[in-house]
Structure 1
Amino acid sequence: VDVVESIAIDRAKELFGAEAANVQPHSGSQANAAVYLSCLEVGDTVLGLDLAQGGHLTHGMKLNMSGRLYNFVNYGVDEVNHRLDFDQIVKLAREHKPKLIVAGASAYPREIPHDRFKEIADEVGAKLMVDMAHYAGLVAAKIHNSPVPYADYVTTTTHKTLRGPRSGLIMCKDEHLKLVNRNVFPGTQGGPLMHVVAAKAICFAEAMTEEYAAYGQAVVDNAKTLADTLMSCGLRLVSGGTDNHLMLVDVTAVDLGGKKAEAVLDACGITVNMNMIPFDQRKPMDPSGIRIGTPALTTRGMGGDEMKRIGQWIYNALSDSDNTSLHESIRTEIREMVQAFPVPAAAESPATVA
């Protein structure tokens, strides 16, 4: 058991260039909770991205433990270009003097400048935590800039762009490791799930290969092609495009809310999720947008031509949202297309990279 965990730790450190790592968290949310317990007291002030503008539940939502235990002050994005509003972030940091600044997002389609957050944290005497759950795989592939040189703590899931098991990871400076370890176990959870830790070790090894770097680039290339296709059809994308694996699409341009758009696309065989967009005028349970990502499509081997077809299908379905015969026709076309891109089967020798 200890050997497997040590291998996973060493590989995480090598992959991301981290000083220290804990591979036991069962999820990204638990990783975040453990970091908070490591550096905060109840009631301490924290700066985090507003959930309605791309943040995560654990970045201070009032119903989440983060918002209930700590005094989160939310920053957001610029109202015009929908990119992080650093003028606002600096102003809030100087005004509230947070003990911790949280960077990272769950629905932000642009690259995050971690060095800028580090400058602000240093100015006000705050520690910096980066939640890179959504784009960790792009960091591993050296496509997105890494937060590791700048942050006191870096948390992530391992199942999104990292393409590993559903789980979590914490990396930190050596000086913080003792408290992080204590606040993972026994602070937030009991025994580790060693089969998942073993899977993480495999995941980290795969992410160090040239093949994985090519996959990461293909994910971003596919996202840009899909985004361009949707915009050429007349749909508006938050921030005008994407730098990473995801995009936020404003579906009000076709007189829909996110809830119906999600259902329409599901009927066509296209899985997305409804999502709020910055400064949304609609309610959270039926917001103005949908969130779309390309990692799964890319894993199946799809490329630019398929992204163009998918983008056109999405627009056609949404712009004729009550036409069930059209939706069934699209579903049939999708079934035919995916025959050439089967879900990758388990390797005959899955431990070859171990």
Structure 2
Amino acid sequence: MSVTHEVPPATTLRERDPELAEILLAEKRRQETTLQLTAAENFTPPAVLAALASPLVNKYAEGYPGARHHGGCEIVDTAERLAVERARSLFGAGHANVQPHSGSSAVLAAYAALLRPGDTVLAMGLEHGGHLTHGSPANFSGRWFRFIGYGVDAETGLIDHDQVRALARVHRPKAIVCGSIAYPRHIDHAFFREVADDAGAYLIADAAHPIGLVAGGAAPSPVPYADVVCATTHKVLRGPRGGMLLCRAELAGRIDRAVFPFTQGGAQMNAVAAKAVALAEAATGAHAAYAHQVVANARTLAAALADEGLAVITGGTDTHLITVDPGPLGTDGRTARGRLAAAGMVLDCCPLPHGDGRGLRLGTAATTTQGMGEREMRVVATLLAGVVRGAVDPAAARADVRELTAEFPPYPA
């Protein structure tokens, strides 16, 4: 006896689940009516969103193309091969793995491929701009490995290369990590390669933030220097939230095994396809122009913030990132962030190197995607500084923010 199941008619999400539909619409309104200055966020192109919502979300695909643990993977194999080849071609890498679910997952896989628990790793200290995966005791990295932190010069805010070299010679780490979530200047990858070779260490580049600039030729590439490059596919790259690994060809097997089966199960094939879309767009002249505009906007914004009295760490930026100390305007980072949130200006706090307080970390990737340029960055700086110093009421600034964002919708109709 056969059993039939009633198939609900095709309806909209609002009809099937109005409660969740309203949550999604509320988030859409928030993104459209506030300034997205969070350095790690961006707006993905519609083609990326389409891939994420594609039927590939239904496919289970443990393993790699041609060697899956599930049947019916012939088509998704093609999608993953396409993403891998686009990543290799775009960045000139010997091998690419596009399966990591996040940047942290990519770093975990890099460590798993090259290290063993208890090994010593040299990385930027968290208080100087290092990531949780660079040795935080709350993270797997700080629990499984012995991290030694290097920092930045107290006067310039730039990486203290003499300290890096000295620490590497004393501690002889198994790996050195170069990269940061709050350092606004280019990393000297050649220097870190030299130090790693001198110490007999692997060099791991955490390029989660600058990889989209690298794709557009607006930042130097770590690929020729690092043994493994860990990256995200969102941020300036404008892809789906996820991770990616680039490495030398001879490390391909170790990296792939570290992702699957060691640290992850099945790949999210809709995200892999969306990564392929983003990588194709990142290879275009339009993305190159975008990446350079992101940097131009960040430099203009940094200079304008300095003119308004905020202390800009390192005196400026080479990237999409800006870190500032609001102390000269009479407040701390957490208080400033709260005032700005009330004004519709969304950004993060970050530690201040060699300081007791917290500063502000902001970026220009999302606003540049919206079409804002250097003129708008000066407007943003004036608004931000006025709110931070308490001279402008957040409610009044909120109206100005709405007017500005209305002129530059993230997804024009």
Q: Once the two structures are superposed, what CA deviation does each residue of 1:6-61 show, in whole Å capped at 9, x if it has no partner?
A: 00000000010000011000000010001101111110010000011011000111
Say yes or no: does 1:18 pair with 2:93: yes
CA distance in 1, matches of 2:203, 2:185: 19
**Alignment check: 8 A CA contact 2:127 2:352 kept:** yes
Give the residue type in structure 2 aligned to 1:343. P
Structure 2 match to 1:263: 338
TM-score, length-scaled by structure 2: 0.81
Aligned partner of residue 191 in structure 1, secondary structure: coil
Q: Which has the larger radius of gyration?
A: 2
1:81 Cα offset (Å): 0.2
Gaps of 5+ in 2: 1-75
- 1:92-241 matches, within 5 Å, as 92-241=167-316
Q: How far 1:345 moved relative to its partner?
A: 4.9
State the partner residue of 2:382.
Answer: 312
Q: Please give the alpha-carbon distance, in whole angstroms, between the structure 1 residues aligned to 2:331 and 2:273.
A: 44
Per-residue CA deviation, residues 218-257 of structure 1 (Å, 9 max, x unaligned), is 0000001101100011110111111100111101112211
Distance 1:331 1:125 in 2: 54
Residue 257 of structure 2 aligns with an amino acid whose one-letter code is R
Aligned partners of 2:110 and 2:262: how far apart in 1? 10
Structure 1 runs of 4+ off > 2 angstroms? none
**Counterpart residue type for residue 299 of structure 1:** T
Q: Tell me how far 1:299 sits from its aligned partner.
A: 0.2
Match of 2:373 in 1: 303
Residues of 1 paired with 2:349 and 2:302: CA distance?
Answer: 17
Corresponding residue SS for 1:186: helix
> Counterpart of 2:404?
337
Q: Distance in 1 between matches of 2:329 and 2:378?
A: 19
How far apart, in 2, do the equivalents of 1:100 and 1:74 lie?
Answer: 12
Looking at structure 2, the residues matched to 334 and 27 of structure 1 have their Cα atoms a distance apart, in angstroms, of 31
Aligned with 2:121 (options 5, 27, 46): 46
Q: Report SS of the residue matched to 1:242.
A: coil
Using the alignment, how far apart are the partners of 2:241 and 2:209 within structure 1? 13
Structure 2 Cα separation of the partners of residues 57 and 115 of structure 1: 24
Cα distance in 2, alignment partners of residues 274 and 180 from structure 1: 33
Q: Name the SS for the 1:161 alignment partner.
A: helix
CA distance in 1: counterparts of 2:118 and 2:223, whole angstroms: 27
Task: Give 1:280 deviation, angstroms.
Answer: 2.1
Distance of 2:337 and 2:253 partners within structure 1 = 44
Residues of 1 paired with 2:300 and 2:90: CA distance?
28
The answer as to whether partners of 2:125 and 2:150 remain within 8 angstroms in 1 is: yes
Mapping of residues 1-40 of structure 1, within 5 Å? 1-40=76-115
Tell me, in whole angstroms, the C-alpha distance in 2 between the residues paired with 1:275 and 1:23. 29
How many residues align structurally? 338
Distance 2:130 2:216 in 1: 23
Counterpart amino acid of 2:210? Y
- Aligned counterpart, 2:25: none
Q: Deviations over 1:47-80 (max 9, x none)?
A: 0000110110001111110010001111011111
Q: Quickly say closer, same or farther: Cα 1:2–1:345, change in 2 above 3 A.
A: farther
Shift of 1:293: 0.4
Measured in 1, the distance between the counterparts of 2:185 and 2:411 equals 29
TM-score by length of 1: 0.94
For 2:19, the equivalent position in structure 1 comes to none
> 2:82 aligned with 1:82, yes or no?
no
SS in 2 for 1:192: coil
| Map of 2:64 onto structure 1 | none
Maintained 8 Å contact 2:309/2:329 = no
3-state SS of paired residue (2:261) = coil
Distance in 1 (alpha carbons) for counterparts of 2:186 and 2:255 = 27
SS of 1:179's equivalent in the other structure is helix
- Percent of aligned pairs with the same residue? 47
Provide the rounded CA distance (Å) in 1 between the counterparts of 2:81 and 2:275: 11
Q: Which residue of 1 aligns with 2:33?
A: none
Alignment partner, residue 352 of structure 1: none
**Aligned pairs for 1:243-282 within 5 A:** 243-282=318-357
Query: 2:308, 2:100 → 1: CA distance?
Result: 42
Q: RMSD between aligned alpha carbons?
A: 1.0
Alignment partner, residue 51 of structure 2 = none
